[in-house]
Amino acid sequence: NAGVMQNPRHLVRRRGQEARLRCSPMKGHSHVYWYRQLPEEGLKFMVYLQKENIIDESGMPKERFSAEFPKEGPSILRIQQVVRGDSAAYFCASSPNTGTDQPQHFGDGTRLSIL
Amino acid sequence: GENVEQHPSTLSVQEGDSAVIKCTYSDSASNYFPWYKQELGKRPQLIIDIRSNVGEKKDQRIAVTLNKTAKHFSLHITETQPEDSAVYFCAAGSGFQKLVFGTGTRLLVSP
């Protein structure tokens, strides 16, 4: 059973460009979470999605950031018009679609660097 | 909203000693408390978790205790080994909701 898959592992963008980060949850998982981690800091929640629905986006900036989890395909975190402050590691986690308090398992992350 | 505080920020121990990391949370509705280990440049890995209906859970050299009244929980690592060196994060959440993470503890185990 493959783990949470994120790509790309590393992404370099110039200021003003768009960044697209992809996350495929573990098989059988329908809950996807995105977190951001700045160097030497903890993980900050951004958004929680289920298939075709955004459940909680309270941690995501209102401008330039968007997320989706379509019926088919991976979840996408999109950052438009990137700025230097967007440089961080972005982690995706997934959890199963049954029961409560199921563990969140993380992918290897995408390290975004803005030039 | 939930706020999680974690102490200490760094912890240095000798191999074979025990290590204890403590966290407090603010939201009494939180009922799920996982601990993650993160090595440099790697993903956070779940090492143990506890739910609010139990006070203690143990898995080999790792144990977690939870005091719901005081709203704090702790990670205990016994017989530490150099490969335990990493950053450890506590977190709090409820149901399928987001996890709120502590700021991390950098554990260094010296041979």
User: What is the structure's pLDDT at A99?
Assistant: 57
- Give the count of alpha carbons within 13 A of B51, CB side only: 7
* Contacting A residues, span 54-93, partner chain B, CB-CB under 8 Å: 55-56, 58-59, 91
Distance CA A76, CA A12 (A): 17
What confidence score (pLDDT) does residue A53 get?
93
Q: Quick check: B42 and A48 CB within 8 A?
A: no
How confident is the model over A40-89, as pLDDT tens digits? 888 999 999 998 899 999 999 999 999 999 999 999 999 999 999 999 99
Reference B44, options B107, B93, B90; nearest CA is B90
Classify residue A13 as exposed, middle or buried by CB count within 10 Å of its CB (0-12, 13-18, 19+).
middle
Chain B partners of A100 at a C-beta cutoff of 8 Å? 95-96
Task: Report whether A57 contacts A45 (CB < 8 A).
Answer: no
Which of B45, B46, B98 lies at the smallest CB-CB distance from A56? B98
Spatial separation of the C-alpha atoms in residues A113 and A56, rounded to whole Å: 26
Interface contact flag, B34 A103, Cβ < 8 Å: yes
Which chain B residue's Cα is nearest to A46?
A: B98
Q: What is the pLDDT of residue A29?
A: 87
Residue B94: its pLDDT value, please? 81
Question: Using CA atoms, how far apart are residues B35 and B105, in angstroms rounded to an integer?
Answer: 11
Q: With H, G, I as helix, E, B as strand and everything else as coil, classify residue A66.
A: strand
Contact criterion met (CB < 8 Å) for A42 and B98: no
Least CA distance to A102: which residue of chain B? B96
pLDDT confidence of residue B111: 92
Report strand pairing: B4-7 vs B19-25.
antiparallel
Calculate the dihedral angle through the C-alpha atoms of A10, A67, A41, A101, rounding to the nearest 10 degrees.
-120
User: A68 is written with which tokens?
Assistant: 């989706």
Q: How far is CA A95 from CA A107, B12, B29, B78, in A?
A: 12, 33, 20, 29
Q: Which three-class secondary structure state does DSSP give residue A69?
A: coil
Name the 3-class secondary structure at B29. coil
pLDDT of residue A78: 98
pLDDT for the residue numbered A2: 73
Instruction: Establish if A102 touches chain B: CB-CB under 8 angstroms.
Output: yes
Report the alpha-carbon distance of residue B32 to residue B29 in Å, rounded: 9
Intervals of chain B under pLDDT 70: 95
Q: Spell out the residues 6+ positions from residue A97 whose beta carbon is closer than 8 angstroms to its own.
A: A28, A29, A30, A31, A50
Query: Taking CA atoms, what residue in B is nearest to A41?
Result: B103
Considering only the beta carbons, identify the residue of B34, B96, B102 that sits closest to A42.
Answer: B102
Band of pLDDT at residue A102, cut at 50, 70 and 90: confident
